[in-house]
A and B are shown apart, each in its own frame.
Chain A
Amino acid sequence: MVANEKRSWFWKKIGFWFVPARSEKLGPEEWAKIRKASRTSKNRRTRRLFALLWVPGLAFEIAVNLRVVRLDPWAGLMSAAMLTMLMGLAVRALRIGFAQVSLEDRATMEHGEEFDALKEKQRGEIFQRAVRDGLFGRVKVDEREAEQRLRAQGAAYRLLGPALVVFVAGYWGMCLFGPFEATRSALAVTAVVVTWLAALVLAAPTMIRMWTQPDEPEETAAIAE
């Protein structure tokens, strides 16, 4: 094993992040950095920063997409698909991150010891498994995680409702009063489709409940049981 002091500046600052498979060569400094980064990426301040950065990121994606679609509609479709896929992957990574177990907890769960007390090889194995589980989404979604996801989805849906109503109203306004004399009737058809799509999305939770909720038991039936 190379002494940490003899390593290059590149390795000390950047290199080690990209070689988790050679983690047995990591020194205490690098381990400290990895553990700090893992903790920092999960704290509330960092998470909120990511959430705030997501808004300009989305605006940038839309701007790029609009520019490309004006040049060529097919290229616009490709760019929309690619950017949406990238955003989907990023969101997936964030979702996995919530359910991921820290390196310290993995050490206790797998070896019954503190992370610092493990051998270099064991630390390396734990780190590699954490990276692999993160990449392949192999995380345990326990009841708290599932509940948090449901709550977040509920909150998103509650925001989506008014946002969709405003969007549909704006779309109709654009179709009826915008400078599109030649295509007004075609645009009005798309507005009707958009309206009914929005109605479908907003009614979906109630319809799902209508379908899935069992009958209420009557009092007499409850006593008989």
Chain B
Amino acid sequence: MYKSIMSLHNRIAVLRAERKLSRATLALSVGVNPQTIGFLERGDYTPSLELAFKIAEHFGLPVEAVFSPRPFRTLSEQVYELHKRET
């Protein structure tokens, strides 16, 4: 009923898994409740700009590498394209 008009896609789950980071640790670092990280990962909540920047800063990445208005391409697609470009 109250879904945001524009849903924001994110890579938080992938980045967390990559860095073996728990929901609670990330939440503690960016100053939200752990359940908020879960809602973000599931796409049930669109973060404020402030929170988006905090999360990107935590991972040491530009904000557009963590959040995007369009769905992220899968890693296999990107690797395949890179491979194609190289050959």
Q: Which of A93-112 contact B (CB under 8 A)?
A: 99, 101-102, 105-106, 108-109, 112
Q: Is the CB of B2 within 8 A of A101?
A: no
| CB-contact partner of A143 in B1, B2, B51, under 8 A | B51
C-beta contact mask, A128-158 vs B, less than 8 Å → 1, else 0?
0000000000001011110100010001000
Q: Is the CB of B24 within 8 A of A108?
A: yes
Q: Is the CB of A142 within 8 A of B22?
A: no
A144 to B55, CA, bound (A): 14
A169 to B28, CA, bound (A): 52
A: interface residue count bin:
10 to 19
Q: Is the C-beta of B32 less than 8 angstroms from some C-beta in chain A?
A: yes
Q: Is the CB of A140 within 8 A of B33?
A: yes
Closest B residue, CB atoms, query A142: B32
Q: Given A143-B47, A143-B51, A144-B45, are A109 and B2 neighbors across the interface (CB < 8 Å)?
A: no
Q: Is the CB of A145 within 8 A of B22?
A: no
Contacts of A105 in B (CB 8 A): 23-24, 27, 34-35
Q: Which of B7-24 contact A (CB under 8 A)?
A: 22-24
Q: Which residues of B contact A (CB under 8 A)?
A: 1-2, 22-25, 27-28, 31-36, 39, 45, 47-48, 50-51
16 contacts between A and B (CB under 8 A): A101-B24, A105-B23, A105-B27, A105-B34, A105-B35, A108-B23, A108-B34, A109-B28, A140-B32, A142-B32, A142-B36, A143-B32, A144-B33, A144-B47, A145-B33, A145-B36
